[in-house]
Amino acid sequence: MIAEVYIKLKEGVTDPEGEATKKALNLLGFKNVKRVSSVKVFRIEIEGVSKEEAEKEVEEMCKKLLANPVIHDYEVRWVD
Amino acid sequence: MIAEVYIKLKEGVTDPEGEATKKALNLLGFKNVKRVSSVKVFRIEIEGVSKEEAEKEVEEMCKKLLANPVIHDYEVRWVD
End-to-end CA distance of chain A: 6
pLDDT in tens, A23-53: 999 999 999 999 999 999 999 999 999 999 9
Q: What is the ipTM of this complex?
A: 0.87
Q: What is the pLDDT of residue B21?
A: 97
Are B45 and A24 within 8 A, CB to CB? no
A80 pLDDT higher than 90: no
Number of structural domains (chain A) is 1
Give Cα B7 distance to the centre of its chain.
2
pLDDT in tens, B6-18: 999 999 999 999 9
Q: What is the pLDDT of residue B56?
A: 97
Q: In this structure, what CATH number is given to the domain that contains residue A54?
A: 3.30.1280.10
Q: What is the pLDDT of residue A33?
A: 97
Counting as low any pLDDT under 50, the low residues of chain B are none
Sorted by sequence, the CB contacts under 8 Å of residue A18 that are 6+ apart come out as A35, A36, A37, A38, B42
Residue of A33, A38, A45 with shortest CB distance to B35: A45
B33 touches chain A (CB under 8 A): yes
Q: How confident is the model at residue A60 (pLDDT cuts 50, 70, 90)?
A: very high
Within 8 A of A44 by CB-CB distance, chain B residues are: 25, 33, 35-36
Q: What is the pLDDT of residue B65?
A: 96
Within 8 A of A42 by CB-CB distance, chain B residues are: 18, 21, 36-39
Q: Which residues pair with B35 in a beta bridge?
A: A45
Q: What is the pLDDT of residue B29?
A: 96
* Amino acid making up residue A45: E
Sorted by sequence, the CB contacts under 8 Å of residue B23 that are 6+ apart come out as none
Q: Which domain holds residue B10?
A: 2-79
